[in-house]
Structure formats: C-alpha cells, structure tokens
C-alpha cells in the first residue's frame, strides 16, 4: 500500500495522528462522544492506515462531518527514498518547510525493524555521530514520531514492521512527552499492538528522564555507552559530564528492576585506537559486572569530516572475546545500509540548525 501524499505544512486543523488512547478519549468526550469512539478511531487510523474520515464508516455522519471540518490525519511526507543493496530502505520525511528527518527500515528473515527519529537533528554533541554534526532545530511532535511508523506500514504493508527502535535522529528522552505518547500508540492493542519487548528506546543517558520513563513505561532499553571510563566518555558523549557512568548504570538497574528476564542493551561503537584496546574491554567488564546487560559492538561508519576510523575486524573480535570471557553476552552488529548512509550514526536529514553547530564546525576547520 502506498502512502497518500501529505502536506508538510499544517492546515491549522488538529492532527489526530499523535493522540494516544487517553488523549483520543478526551478529544471524543469534548465532542460529546463516548469512549468507545476513541477505540474505533485508533483502529481506523493505526490498524488500517486510514487517513480519510469518510472511510470510517462506523462513525456517525455527524461526527465525521465534525472531523472533516476541524481535524486531519497528517503524517510526515516522503520526499526521497533510497534502497540499499542489502534491502535496507531509508526515507527522507518532510516535517515542515525547513526540516526533514530520516527513517530506516531494516528487513530480516524473521522480522522487520524500523529505526525512528525523535528530534529534528540532535541537541547532544557525540563526537563520532554524523547526525550530531548537523545541529538541532526542534522536537518532533507525537504525530511526527508515530507518523514514521504509520508511513512505513502503508508503504510496506500492515504488519511489515515487527520491531521499532527509537535510535534515529535525536535523543528520545529530551523529547519525553511526545516520545511516550508515540510509544503508547506503538503498544496499544487497538493501535499498532507491538510487544513491549519489540519496542526499544535508545538513550545517551539522561538519568532523571530515564527514572521518569520507568514510572510510565517498560519498553526495552538501550544505552549508548561507547566508553568504559568517564574521562573517555566525557570526550565521546559529552552528556556524561552531567550524568557520569556510575549514575547512569545505577539508573539502568533501577529501570530493569528485579525482573531477571530483563536486560539493558549496551551500545558500544568501535573506534580504532580510541576505545577498542584489551584494557578498555576489561574496564567495560568491570563497569557492567553488576548490571544485567548484553553488549552490542557497533563497527564505526565513517562520514565526511570525521577524524575516526573503524576498528579492524580482528580488533573487534578480540574485544568481543574478552567481554565474553568476562561473562558478558556480546554480539557484533551487522552493518546495514551503509551504501545509502543509513547505518548507525549516519542519519542527517535537513535541519535548520538552531544551535549553529554546523557554522561553528565549519569555522573551526
């Protein structure tokens, strides 16, 4: 099914795409409709991918007329598509006149994973990330976040996406309310109905927001660690200066609680000569020895202007073996979509840079 064209700019109508069940029930109640109408609308919008109110035939004609006058279903608009030789698909989505974000679908034999963006650009300045180099403009709305899944399902067919990872552009926990509303729609049985084990939020470590997330959600958690010491992580992931590794690991343990089945995925990008020595590996074992976790080693994807290189295959293998001997479940991520700049850390979109980071970097060079 092909997504219908959608305008990048709002018509001034209320966009219902980002309303989770609680918000949709409040919307319906404000118009004199009973709560079951909210369930019907969620099913039409998210389970069937319908954006035309006239097709929602179990709603009354009067209610449909009100919806047509005051509301809309407006997803982000696909302006460009690239398909990798390995089947990975990257969409560039227009969010407004000045900004675009990127979303990636990774097909595998047993699942289809959608990598979703949460911000236009990124407010953090991780030194090895191409997205971070683009600067930051704004948070995405809940409609723009869930809209990436909505568009993917219409493009690929309902059910093609079995897993969602909030690992695209942006730091999800810096856009807390909108991300939580979108997650609610991903999990709601009357919307996308994904298992909480199949929705993963990746964070660089915003500790207070992570504790807050634990109060309202228990989706899977991934943490962008990338270094075993504060000194090195301060350089690679500057937010560490505010929330150091000890505090972050304590927050991870609080998030997964006492459930022995739950683990935190530790993401660790492999940078040649920077964080990939046997010493680093042994330090990482010590950091994680009290945290129920699994480690995902990520080969670095070079991008223009980067001073980093990817660790060699032998180095990554040796690093992995040390972690495994130390008792850590460890995998090495298979690089996907690197020929279309869709691999980890390469999403750039188009950002009206409020931070002026691109200008500052250009001046420094």
Active-site residue among 25, 72, 102, 171? 102
What is the pLDDT at residue 101?
92
pLDDT digits (tens, 9 = 90+) for 63-75: 999 999 999 999 9
The two tokens of residue 42 are 């969620």
Pairing of the two strands 329-332 and 199-203: unpaired
3-state secondary structure 188-227: CCCCCCCCHHHEEEEECCCHHHHHHHHHHCCCEEEEECCC
Report all structural domains of the chain as residue ranges with CATH numbers, in order of start. Answer: 14-72 (1.10.150.530), 77-364 (3.20.20.70)
Least confident of 134-143, 310-319, 348-357: 348-357
* pLDDT above 80 for 240: yes
Element (H, E) at 91: strand 89-94
As beta bridge partners, residue 119 has: 139
As beta bridge partners, residue 94 has: 77, 100
- Average pLDDT of the residues of the chain: 90
* pLDDT above 90 for 143: yes
As beta bridge partners, residue 166 has: 201
Confidence class for position 159, pLDDT limits 50, 70, 90: confident
Active-site residue among 122, 129, 252, 344? 344
What is the pLDDT at residue 6?
46
Confidence class for position 349, pLDDT limits 50, 70, 90: low
What is the pLDDT at residue 18?
97
What is the pLDDT at residue 350?
60
Query: Could you tell me which of 200, 199, 333, 357 has the C-alpha nearest to residue 269?
Result: 333
CB distance 115 to 104 below 8 Å? yes
Instruction: Please give the DSSP secondary-structure letter assigned to residue 241.
Output: G
Task: Identify the sign of the CA torsion 337, 338, 341, 345.
Answer: positive
Confidence class for position 167, pLDDT limits 50, 70, 90: very high
What is the pLDDT at residue 8?
44
pLDDT digits (tens, 9 = 90+) for 294-343: 999 999 988 777 889 999 999 999 999 999 999 999 999 887 666 656 55
Confidence class for position 97, pLDDT limits 50, 70, 90: confident
What is the pLDDT at residue 359?
57
**What is the distance between the terminal CA atoms of the chain, rounded to a whole angstrom?**
46
The C-alpha atoms of residue 66 and residue 45 are separated, in whole angstroms, by: 17
* pLDDT above 70 for 2: no
* Cα→Cα distances 70→16, 28, 113, 242, Å: 10, 13, 34, 44
CB distance 308 to 274 below 8 Å? yes
* Cα→Cα distances 327→262, 282, 330, Å: 16, 11, 9
Active site includes 344? yes
Global pTM exceeds 0.85 = yes
Span 2-14, mean pLDDT?
58
Q: What DSSP assignment string belongs to 260-322?
A: TT--EEEEEEEBTTTT-SHHHHHHHHHHHTTS-EEEEEEE----TT----BPPHHHHHHHHHH
What is the pLDDT at residue 4?
42
CB distance 163 to 112 below 8 Å? yes
Rounded to 10°, the helix 176-187/21-29 angle is: 90
As beta bridge partners, residue 35 has: none
Q: Which residues contact 11 (CB under 8 A, 6 or more apart)?
A: 72, 74
| Main-chain dihedrals φ then ψ at residue 200, nearest 5 degrees | -125, 130
Active site includes 102? yes
pLDDT digits (tens, 9 = 90+) for 250-270: 999 999 998 888 999 999 999
């Amino acid at each position: 099914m092909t997504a219908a064209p959608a305008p990048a700019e709002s018509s001034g109508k209320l966009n219902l795409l980002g309303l989770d069940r609680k918000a949709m029930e409040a919307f319906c109640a404000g118009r004199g409709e009973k709560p079951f109408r909210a369930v019907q609308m969620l099913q039409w919008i998210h389970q069937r991918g319908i954006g035309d109110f006239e097709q929602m035939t179990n709603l009354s004609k009067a209610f449909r007329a009100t919806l047509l006058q005051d509301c809309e279903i407006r997803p982000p608009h696909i302006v460009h598509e690239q398909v990798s030789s390995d089947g990975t698909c990257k969409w560039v989505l227009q969010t407004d006149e000045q900004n675009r974000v990127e979303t990636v679908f990774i097909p595998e034999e047993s699942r289809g994973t959608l990598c979703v963006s949460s911000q236009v650009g990124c407010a953090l300045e991780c030194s090895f990330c191409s997205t971070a180099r683009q600067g930051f403009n704004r948070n995405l709305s809940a409609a723009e976040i869930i809209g990436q899944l909505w568009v993917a399902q219409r493009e690929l067919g309902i059910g093609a996406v079995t897993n969602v990872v909030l690992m695209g552009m942006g730091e999800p926990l810096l856009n807390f309310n909108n991300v939580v509303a979108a997650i609610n729609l991903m999990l709601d049985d009357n919307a996308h109905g994904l298992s909480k084990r199949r929705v993963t939020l990746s964070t660089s470590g915003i500790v207070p927001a992570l504790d807050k997330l634990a109060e309202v959600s228990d989706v899977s958690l991934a943490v962008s660690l990338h270094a075993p010491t504060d000194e090195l992580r301060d350089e690679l992931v500057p937010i560490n200066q505010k929330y150091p590794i000890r505090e972050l690991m304590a927050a991870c343990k609080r998030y997964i609680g006492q459930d022995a089945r739950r683990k935190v995925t530790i993401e660790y990008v492999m940078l040649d000569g920077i964080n990939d020595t046997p010493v680093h590996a042994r330090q990482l074992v010590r950091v994680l020895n009290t945290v129920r976790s699994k480690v995902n080693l990520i080969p670095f994807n070079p991008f223009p202007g980067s001073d980093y290189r990817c660790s060699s295959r032998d180095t990554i293998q040796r690093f992995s073996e040390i972690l495994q001997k130390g008792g850590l479940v460890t995998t090495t991520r298979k690089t996907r979509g690197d020929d279309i700049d869709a691999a980890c850390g390469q999403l750039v979109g188009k950002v009206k840079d409020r931070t002026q980071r691109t200008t500052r970097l250009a001046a420094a060079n």
